Structure 1
Amino acid sequence: MVPEHPRARPVDRASALPLWAQVQADIERRLRAGEFTDSFPGEMALVDQYAVSRHTVREALRRLREGGLLDAGRGRAPRVASAEIAQPAGTLYSIFASAQESGHSQRSIVRALDARADGTVAARLGLEESTPLIYLERIRLLDEEPLAMDRAWLPASIAAPLLDADFTQTSLYGELSARCDVRLTGGREEIRAVVPTTAERVLLDIPDRTAALAIDRLGELGGRPVEWRQTVVRGDRFGLVTDLTRPHHLEASVTAGRQPRRSA
């Protein structure tokens, strides 16, 4: 007989509730009690604790991942899911600033930083199709885990100095202010839930059946569009918050960020 783990409740094989559901419920109880603060047990340890099959444990863990209580990726053991970033709505949101304010570490993997032409983006910015643009593409990491894929285009006429910036540990808006003396004054943004592409799911290590948020932003300088940005954020690690008790905040969310943050 497999010895019972002192903190795990044994399953009831006479119950109509499936074994995996009983294991899931008991692990949830232990999670909420703060038992796994330091580490989370592996599959075989849970098999021993509950005296069930590995298939039963895997189904329980899969349900916990889908519920956002556990985080697991390729080649990684399950662990307690980290808290998501809560971003105020109605601002030019800043992953960099939000991570710092919530006590998380952040850095970026720069996949591209160059000058190029893009007729579609240039048209969005009200420019000729052949106008040179500065393009920045990054994978944003939160506590060393992928959070978002961020792609931004700005006219080279104002943003060319950004080509010398190191974006691994700094923000786009911070560098834009310091190197180009440009501070966005507003803009508009569209946020929608999307099914990640295969490439996005791999790059951001998005769990199966987990959606993402797509954020399209047109940043403005004195009413003139100067930034087009497309961001895909893991839906299980990012949230938007609206403070309904602050009238000026309600106005800001209607006007799409007239009081911007200056880090992104």
Structure 2
Amino acid sequence: MTGHLATGRNRVNVRRLDRAGGDPLWKQLQEDLVRRLRSGEFDDAFPGELALVEEYGVSRHTVRQALGQLRTDGLIVAERGRQPRVATAPEIRQPMGALYSLFSSVEESGLPQHSVVRALDLRADGVVAARLDLEGSIPLLYLERLRYAGDEPLALDRVWLPAALAEPLLAADFTHTSLYNELAERTGINLDHGREDIRAMNPSPAERALLHCPPDAAVFSIIRQGTAQNRPVEWRHTIVRGDRFALSAEFSANTGYRLTPATTALAQAW
């Protein structure tokens, strides 16, 4: 329903909210904006705070509460001093419940993928060596790639492997190939188990610039340890743009979430 609100000489249509009780005004406003957003009404542009104040006849504080919830839900992007805009859907959606392949996920999305190799060498790293159950001075193979989906960066990928196993990878071309494919072909090692810890984080200024990450977007920080026949073979840290990548999971009343089925192999991933 709409009414009219006098503003000097002008009268503007006002969308009515229930002021007699029920949900708070900001909640009603948020729900109505979601309805309008999903109907495609804001495909061209999302209204600013002052426009919503006039349109709904509410305070700016109420509008900001509603917009804050829309931002939290990932439906809009609102930067300080700029008009809100509808958030774009992530281009790459990765189901959880499998030890997945970023390489394959990008190509299945229809986007061409390639990598810029920033480092491929042997080095010592006591902290990572300990995570691989190795002595701190043992050399490791280090591979760092900036991974692209289409014309834009998607992820910054850093991986360490024991040099004694992985040294043949120094001859590989990682601009358009999977690490695990190269590992299997050049060393005969197939990873069969892995663990990942995933969390949201704000990238450093250098990482944000490297990934062309928007100023309002967070990233996924993904730490993976991969093993072969119960031996730690890989420690990896990948930073993935949160505005281009999403994780999804399936669940049921009988089985709950299926996140790490023991029968799923890690081969061909990443």
TM-score (norm 1): 0.66
Could you say which residue in structure 1 is the equivalent of 2:41?
35
SS at match of 2:190: coil
Given the alignment of the two structures, is residue 88 of structure 1 paired with residue 101 of structure 2, yes or no? no
Tell me, yes or no, if the aligned pair for 2:192 and 2:267 is still in contact at 8 Å.
no
Residue 172 (str. 1) matches residue 188 (str. 2): no
* 1:185 Cα offset (Å): 2.8
Q: 1:106 to 1:253 in 2, by over 3 A?
A: same
> What's the CA shift for 1:67?
1.0
Alignment equivalent of 1:24, drawn from 22, 27, 30: 30
Residues 98 and 81 of structure 1: CA distance in aligned 2, closer, same or farther (over 3 Å)? same
Q: 1:69 to 1:140 in 2, by over 3 A?
A: farther
**What are the within-5 Å matches in structure 2 for residues 6-25 of structure 1?**
10-12=15-17, 14=19, 20-25=26-31
Does the CA-based 8 Å contact 2:172-2:182 persist in structure 1? no
Instruction: Please give the residue correspondences for 1:187-206 in structure 2 after superposition, counting only pairs within 5 Å.
Output: 187-191=193-197, 193=199, 196=201, 199=204, 203=208
Change (3 A) 1:244 1:14: closer
Q: Report if the CA contact (8 A) 2:17-2:29 is conserved.
A: no
Q: Which amino acid aligns with 1:189?
A: R
1:146 Cα offset (Å): 7.0
Aligned-pair identity (%): 38
Match 2:163 to one of 129, 138, 156:
156
Unaligned runs of 5+ in 2: 1-6
Structure number with bigger Rg: 2
Q: CA deviation at 1:89?
A: 1.8
* Correspondence list, 1:33-182, <5 A: 33-37=39-43, 39-41=44-46, 43=48, 46-47=51-52, 50=55, 57-71=63-77, 78-83=85-90, 85-91=93-99, 93-103=100-110, 112-138=119-145, 149-157=156-164, 158-159=166-167, 161-162=169-170, 165-167=173-175, 170-177=177-184, 180-182=186-188
Gapped regions of structure 1 (runs ≥ 5): none
2:223 corresponds to 1:224: no
**Structure 2 length-normalised TM:** 0.65
CA contact (8 A) 2:115 2:174 kept: no
Count of equivalent residues: 250
Shift of 1:186: 1.1
Kept after mapping to 2: 8 A contact 1:206/1:234: no
Q: Please report how far the alpha carbon of residue 162 of structure 1 lies from its aligned counterpart in structure 2 after TM superposition.
A: 4.4
Distance in structure 1 (CA, Å) of the matches to 2:144 and 2:173: 13
Aligned to 1:186: 192
Contact (CA 8 Å) 1:150, 1:232: kept in 2 or not? yes
Cα RMSD of the aligned pairs, angstroms, is 4.6
Query: Structure 1 residues 109, 13: CA separation in 2 closer, same or farther (over 3 Å shift)?
Result: farther
